[in-house]
């Protein structure tokens, strides 16, 4: 029995040592492979994320009250016509960029939605205060004046947050 133990005990020690060394080595190799996959994914996703941030900034700039009103207002429009055109443009621009929410943080997307809703609310509230058949100049002027008076607009807050997030990527 003692003779059998002399041969088996060292063999078991060698086996246990080899087992744990190989297990540790395979674990490190697996971690290394996972890191490589992660880094390759980051290389592919980072440009897409940057493009999403760019598109969302463009969205916010396109639906900025001043640029939207100046771009969409025509000389022969009434308040009601301009009101409908503005709401259609805001919703259209937003819907065109819905897929970008996949690439930005939930907080960013909530700020984008808040900026859109804030603008819809501004357009609706100013349209309610005016006679629908009057010239669209009145609605344009009211929207721009109200927006200028709003020192901390949802638009500027969303743009600033998006810029901060892009800076944090680097």
* Cβ–Cβ under 8 Å, residues 56 and 100: yes
pLDDT at 29: 95
Record the pTM.
Answer: 0.74
Write out pLDDT tens, residues 20-51: 999 999 999 999 999 998 888 778 788 888 99
pLDDT bucket at 7, cuts 50 / 70 / 90: confident
Write out pLDDT tens, residues 105-138: 999 999 999 999 999 999 999 999 988 888 889 9
* Cβ–Cβ under 8 Å, residues 122 and 65: yes
Most confident segment among 28-32, 100-104, 152-156: 28-32
| Whole-angstrom Cα Rg for the chain | 30
């Amino acid at each position: 029995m003692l003779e059998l133990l002399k041969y088996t005990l060292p063999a078991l020690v060698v086996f246990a040592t080899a087992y744990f060394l190989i297990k540790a080595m395979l674990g490190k190799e697996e971690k290394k492979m996972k890191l490589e996959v992660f880094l390759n994914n980051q290389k592919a996703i980072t440009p897409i994320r940057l493009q999403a941030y760019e598109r969302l900034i463009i969205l916010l700039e396109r639906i900025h009250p001043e640029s939207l009103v100046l771009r969409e207002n025509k000389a022969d429009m009434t308040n009601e016509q301009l009101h409908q055109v503005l709401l259609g443009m805001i919703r259209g621009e937003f819907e065109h960029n819905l897929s970008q929410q996949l690439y930005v943080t939930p907080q960013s997307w909530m700020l984008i939605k808040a900026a859109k809703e804030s603008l819809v609310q501004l357009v609706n509230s100013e349209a309610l205060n005016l006679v629908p058949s009057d010239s669209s100049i009145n609605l344009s002027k009211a929207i721009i004046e109200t927006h200028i008076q709003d020192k901390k607009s949802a638009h500027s807050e969303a743009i600033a947050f998006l810029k901060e997030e892009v800076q944090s990527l680097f």
